[in-house]
């Protein structure tokens, strides 16, 4: 009898223990499309196959349409040749191949017609699995146009592609980028020669760039090399180097731009919100770099965390003879707010060719900087009566939701924010390109990022 009782107890113990030992089935391979971090019994992994991805490589030599029912993989440098139009349907997913440095290059005379919608943006992204993506997983998008620049000869675009840029047609049209996301680009073609998220080489103002988000770029999020192209509603999100880099005589206009930084990631060269040059040597060469910006919000590393990489430098680094103009904007949380760097750039500011108006610098370690050895009084210049500029030491006075939560940022100012007023639209801002709004910074009562931007592409299953 005692033996039978023991046996029954053992059987009961086993029966009770069995449910506790049951393992969750799922894919445990992090490289698979359906990786499940909670699974502890492997099954059912899914991998890209030829039916999942249509590979594209080499040159596109005839008009082509990419459809939203097909996923595409860029292998190596993919060129849209002169006279050819690549049309991309709303909702299309395009991935970049890492081993071959997949990139899309629109040559001079070529066009890209990438017209997404708020509910169906076009997405260029990494080919790596969920949770395994990183900056520099592929190249990026490069558009080359026939607008003017200030460089000699016929320059080849940065990053390594076989593509020249420039000409004399300020109205040149390279197509449309509307409701487009570009994620995890910026791979290095060679040491110190990274491809930017979006590179614009002498692109003309006939081109439309509207509602574009560049996320996790391994170099600059955006870089202009000459040209006249305008843009609205730009997002630079968690890039490695600069948010908005402007060179070689770019003379376009931008309204409504957001830069939002990852405090733990910056570039060895020093990361800035704006970096603006006339050229690498600061030569007095026309056309001068004179991008004209209104309604910009740059939220630097200190707007996210009290601890951040010491490679972060300035919200605005204006140098090398640039004539950049910035209006109705707010810059928050950098070691230095505004650095006007070098005698030629100081002279441009004093001569009113470089302008900063109705701009707020907030929460900076140092509001201003000048070149070593300079005695120019940048503080007095910035504070010139009638210009509407101000510095704010306590970021809580801005009426913004700070510190920022990177995966779900709240971008609209509260109803009592001083940023909801104070904008002015005169001088160059009287151009019909600009929308006359009352607020400073990129946002008023409407969050124009809603519905199409992605703040967590690392965990999106494309």
The length of the chain in residues reads: 462
**Tokens found for residue 342:** 């070098």
> By percentage, how much of the chain surpasses pLDDT 70?
92
* pLDDT for residue 12: 37
Whether the predicted pLDDT of 10 surpasses 60: no
- Mean pLDDT for 111-126 is 98
Q: Is the pLDDT of residue 18 over 70?
A: no
Give the residue extent of every domain in the chain.
56-459
DSSP 310: T
Looking at residue 14, what is its pLDDT?
39
The pLDDT of residue 50 is 44
Distances from the Cα of 318 to the Cαs of 39, 272, 301, 360, in angstroms?
51, 10, 19, 16
- Predicted pLDDT of residue 25: 82
Residue (of 234, 270, 251) closest to 322 by Cα position? 251
What is the pLDDT, as a whole number, of residue 40? Answer: 78
At residue 420 the predicted structure's pLDDT band, cuts being 50, 70 and 90, is very high
**CA–CA gap between residue 303 and residue 447 (Å, rounded):** 19
The whole-angstrom separation of Cα 205 and Cα 147 is 8
Q: Which residue has better confidence, 45 or 380?
A: 380
pLDDT for position 39 = 82
In the DSSP assignment, the letter for residue 286 is S
pLDDT digits (tens, 9 = 90+) for 434-454: 999 999 999 999 999 999 999
DSSP 8-state assignment for residue 427 = G
Identify any residues that bridge with 273 across adjacent strands, giving them in sequence order: none
Q: What is the pLDDT of residues 260-315, one digit of tens each?
A: 999 999 999 999 999 999 999 999 999 999 999 999 999 999 999 999 999 999 99
Q: What is the pLDDT of residue 44?
A: 75
330 pLDDT higher than 80: yes
pLDDT at position 32: 64
Query: What digits encode the pLDDT tens for the residues 169-210?
Result: 999 999 999 999 999 999 988 776 789 999 999 999 999 999
- pLDDT value of residue 159: 86
Condensed to tens digits (0 to 9), the pLDDT of residues 363-393 reads 999 999 999 999 999 999 999 999 999 999 9
In angstroms, rounded to a whole number, what is the distance separating the alpha carbons of residues 284 and 279?
9
Q: Would you state the pLDDT for residue 29?
A: 62
């Amino acid at each position: 009898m005692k033996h039978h009782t023991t046996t029954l107890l053992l059987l009961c113990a086993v029966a009770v223990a069995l449910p506790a030992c049951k393992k969750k089935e799922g894919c445990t391979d992090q490289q698979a499309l359906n990786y499940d971090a909670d699974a502890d019994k492997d099954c059912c992994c899914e991998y890209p196959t030829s039916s999942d991805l249509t590979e594209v490589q080499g040159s596109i030599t005839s008009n082509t349409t990419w459809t939203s029912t097909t996923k595409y993989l860029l292998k190596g440098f993919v060129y849209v040749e002169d006279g050819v139009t690549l049309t991309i349907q709303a909702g299309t997913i395009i991935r970049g191949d890492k081993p071959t440095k997949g990139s899309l290059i629109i040559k001079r005379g070529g066009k890209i017609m990438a017209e997404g919608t708020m509910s169906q943006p076009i997405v260029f992204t990494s080919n790596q699995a969920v949770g395994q993506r990183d900056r520099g997983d592929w190249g990026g998008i490069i558009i080359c146009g026939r607008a003017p620049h200030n460089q000699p000869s016929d320059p080849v675009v940065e990053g390594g592609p076989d593509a020249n840029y420039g000409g004399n047609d300020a109205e040149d049209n390279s197509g449309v980028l509307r409701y487009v996301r570009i994620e995890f680009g910026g791979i290095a073609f060679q040491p110190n020669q990274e491809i930017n998220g979006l590179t614009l080489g002498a692109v003309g103002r006939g081109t439309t760039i509207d509602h574009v988000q560049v996320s996790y770029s391994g170099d600059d999020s955006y870089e202009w090399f000459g040209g006249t192209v305008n843009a609205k509603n730009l997002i630079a999100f968690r890039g490695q180097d600069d948010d908005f880099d402007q060179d070689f005589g770019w003379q376009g206009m931008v309204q409504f731009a957001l830069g939002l930084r990852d405090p733990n990631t910056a570039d060895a060269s020093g990361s800035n919100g704006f970096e603006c040059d006339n050229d690498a040597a600061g030569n007095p060469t026309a056309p001068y770099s004179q991008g004209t910006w209104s309604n910009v919000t740059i939220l630097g590393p200190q707007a996210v965390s009290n601890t951040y990489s010491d490679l972060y430098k300035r919200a605005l680094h204006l140098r090398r003879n640039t004539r950049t103009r910035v209006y109705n904007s707010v810059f928050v949380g950098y070691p230095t707010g505004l650095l006007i760097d070098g005698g030629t750039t100081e002279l441009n500011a004093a001569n009113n060719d470089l302008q900063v108006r109705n701009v707020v610098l907030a929460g900076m370690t140092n509001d201003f900087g000048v070149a070593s050895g300079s005695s120019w009084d940048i503080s007095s210049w910035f504070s010139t009566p009638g210009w509407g500029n101000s510095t704010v030491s306590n970021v809580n006075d801005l009426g913004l939701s700070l510190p920022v939560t990177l995966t779900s940022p709240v971008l609209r100012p509260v109803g009592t924010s001083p940023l909801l007023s104070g904008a002015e639209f005169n001088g160059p801002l009287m151009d019909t390109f600009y929308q006359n709004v009352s607020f400073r910074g990129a946002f008023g009562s409407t969050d124009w990022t809603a519905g199409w931007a992605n703040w967590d592409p690392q965990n999106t299953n494309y």
